[in-house]
Amino acid sequence: MQPNYQIFHDDEQLSESIDRVKGEGIEEDDIYILSHDNDHVRRAKRSTDANKIGVKETGLGTATKNVFRGKDDKLISKMKEIGFEQSTAQKLHKELEKGKTLLVVKNQDNVKF
C-alpha cells in the first residue's frame, strides 16, 4: 500500500494537520515528515512529534548506501523505502526542492489531512 501524503508550504498548517491526524487515532509511528532542509525536519519533528525517516524505516543496508548518495538520491531512496513508487518519489522530490514539506502517513487506508 502506497502511503498517504500531503504537501505543505506553511509550518502552521503542517502542525495543525499532524494534530488532526493524531486526533483521528493514527499512531505516531505511522506519521513522518520529510523536507529538503534537514534543519527544517528537526524543528518540525520537535514541535509536532512526527518522525523522520531513518535507519529503522530504511534498514541498515539502505542507510549505509545513503551515506554515499547525494541529498536528492537520499530523499528519493527514503520515500521508496516507506512505500512510494519511483515516479511518485521523483514527483514529490521536485516539490521538496521548492522548499515544501511532505507529511506522510503509512498503514492507513483513508487519511483526512
Per-10-residue mean pLDDT, the chain, length 113 = 91 89 89 77 57 61 58 85 93 94 90 88
Domain extent at residue 46: 4-105
The answer to the question of residue 85 being in a domain is yes
* Cβ 36 vs Cβ 7: under 8 Å: no
The answer to the question of residue 21 being in a domain is yes
pLDDT of residue 84: 95
Q: CA–CA distance from 103 to each of 60, 86, 96 (Å)?
A: 23, 18, 11
pLDDT of residue 15: 87
The answer to the question of residue 111 being in a domain is no
Q: Which three cell numbers stand for residue 16?
A: 495543525
* Cβ 102 vs Cβ 37: under 8 Å: no
pLDDT of residue 109: 85
pLDDT of residue 49: 60
pLDDT of residue 55: 54
Q: Which three cell numbers stand for residue 66?
A: 545513503
Whole-number Å distance between alpha carbons of 34 and 11: 12
pLDDT of residue 62: 61
The answer to the question of residue 112 being in a domain is no
The answer to the question of residue 113 being in a domain is no
* Cβ 71 vs Cβ 77: under 8 Å: no
| Count of the separate structural domains present in the chain | 1
Within 8 A by CB and 6+ apart from 92, the residues are 5, 7, 79, 84, 102
